[in-house]
Structure 1
Amino acid sequence: MRFSANLTKSEELIEKENRYGAHNYHPLPVVLERGEGVFLWDVEGEKYYDFLSAYSAVNQGHCHPRIIQALVRQSEKLTLTSRAFYNDQLGAFEEFICKLFGFEKALIMNSGVEAVESAMKLCRKWAYQVKGIPTNQAKIVFARGNFHGRTISVISASDDESATKDFGPFVGGIVHVPYNDVDAFETLLKADQNIAGFIVEPIQGEAGVVVPDSDYLVRIKALCKAYNVLFIADEIQTGIARTGSMLASYDIHADNEDSKPDVLILGKAISGGVLPVSAVLANDEVMLTIKPGEHGSTYGGNPLACAVALEALQVVIDEELAENAQVLGELFRKGLEGIAKRTGVIELVRGKGLLNAIVINCTEESDLAWDICVKFKEKGLLAKPTQGNKIRLAPPLVITAEQIKECLLIIEEVLLDFA
């Protein structure tokens, strides 16, 4: 393929990707080549604040030196053995992550959606072997407005037409319930004894950072316990300090388990954005229902991923990133609420910690949120719309108060142009 001599380097690379790549994404028109901390640089050398953090995978900041050093050290020794053999990194990582989050067993996989799939399989196995649901009758409940990935079985649980249109037929055994509606969930449990589990995001990220009532998960956990149903929390996006605590569903340091899930799903920032690593955590009663040969992955639990993920989690602890997200999240939302009043462009500000979103005062069909993000990019801040009129704002957790204030100035300057 030959390119016009008049194209910039960015335009040439965008054109090349459009020519040779699948069109399953609609990226912002910026071509990135380097990252450090909260910043990204494009191929022309322009510098940007990153307010997407690779959908919260880069909580520790881009190319964190400790994580990169762990990657280099391990990559020079051993990267992959498959699970046909033991390796010297997997057990240490499993012990670390189990003790950190308070579970007996860990199943290490690769992508987030792979971990969700694994949790669904575990839930079904438990349903037949432990709960005693008749064979092939188990049902898993999902909240409406969810996003758990894009494989066939996972989109079978989606009510987003862009995720499901022309991809059927879908997997059965899935039931929907409104998000943040405990009464509707209880009605469902009373009516159907074949419900095995409820998979839910503590905060719905892709839906536009929808935060439920403060007692939602506590009440859900109580119902799951009363009806012998597994409470499964998908913390792929909300976990690893993003929302101002290590997890959004429960306090890992507290003695009570009022909202602790039976199964915890992690991904994204578990590796600091360096490698695809995900994990499903559960106790023996659930995890040991799957026997050798019944589930696996060639790359799952590889030594390189385990070394990187252990260091990435240790960085979050050592640098107190949860605490930083809590304090700066409050500063950021307060600033956004002020901008909303002064510009009239923002209809609603919502979020927790440094997982936040603004709802733009327009319809979901409008291009206004996209146009705003393009202007953000021109002013040196990268963000992306979700669900039409919502803009998720989630910088790396290593951001400082001064940087937050600088970014608020950028956001206000852009929104004033649309007021």
Structure 2
Amino acid sequence: MLLRSIVRYIFHIHTALSHAWACAQIRGFRVKHRAIDNVQSRYLAVDLKYAAMLVAYRRRGQAELIAIGRTVAQGFACQPTDVSTPAESGRVTILETAVAEEISSIRSRAQSAPIADSSSGPQAALADEAAALVADLHAAFGNHHARAVHAKGVILVGTFTPADEARTLSRAELFSKPSVPVTVRFSNFTGIPDIPDNIGAANPRGMAIKFNVGDSRDFDIVCHSFNGFPVSTAEEFGHFLENIAMSGEGVPHPTPLDKYLANHPVAQRFLTTQKPPPVSYATTSYFGVNSFAFISKSEARTFVRFQFAPTAGEHYLDASVAKSMGSNYLAPEIVKRVAEGPVRFDWYAQHAAEGDRIEDPSVSWPDTRVATLLGTISLQEVVRDQLIADKALHFMPATLPPGVEAADPMLAIRNAAYPISYRQRQ
């Protein structure tokens, strides 16, 4: 393939900067038709696909994209911006064509995702923002042909039994049934499939739940083990990821992330106050990132956020024990645990009070808020063929049943980004 040939061609470069740094440099010139600052004096070894993604989601006209492709190609060719000689001109043309092909491919994948028509208008912007977010995740954590985030995980199945109180808050069908089958995927943070379980970077842990109501009326919830989020909006999350990408190993301090955190205390709290590694995926609480509106049969609306509390209680490892557990202890632990008995979580809806920030996931609501028990999830079995199940399973956190509505704009971006990530890892 052309891309493979190009990558092989640039491997001879003597000095290589990290993927994240190069992506940031390409992105930094904000799609102006000019050479990347100092590119003549640097050698760039970076996956061409990353560069194309960064170019593609700037939502510019094709002519300008091709112009940017030429600039990017010049950088990859490690030559000055003067490409008047036939040999250099030919080399740039080949690279430029590859960039354009990647742009077309990425846009095609984004627009074929199962969301509303994205050929023009607001949905086009939504699709591009979602593609941008997925690309930012890959820039921060690498593209491993896996989930863009929470790549390492384990899948279990069981049932959800609703509590009587749930029916007073929402007319959603899953609350009126005796029980509903569920599929739950526990996971570690980042898009690194082999991230060690026993390090801080694996936090927050993830819990994604699919309530299999039937007749294509599944209800998906995606949450994590930290009560809050580092930023307020999807756009800000992209900037947060950019700074992570630019602050990899070997970058001198203060890194771009250091500088970012100095001016963003909420993001700093998110990264520095995570809980220690859990004894089990079954011994930590999980919190929904976004807010929803529950609508009752009488049309009463209650704004809520979700919390899942383990009936086994919260238990974490101290540093010395965590180190001794090894890098892959969580999946075997949950397999052993569920073989001895069901793993249970109580699902609560935390109610918003006057003055609570409904549309800002970075601000957690006080623990003193009313919380209604919605029911209990009981997990009885680990899915046998994890690889096949994981490849097929995806979650859509804003595809909601009657009786539940999204109350946070971030959910629209998340719902558009998840299918893009899903298609890319097939």
The TM-score, its normalising length taken from structure 1, stands at 0.24
Higher relative contact order (CA 8 A, sep 6+): 1
Structure with higher Rg: it is: 2
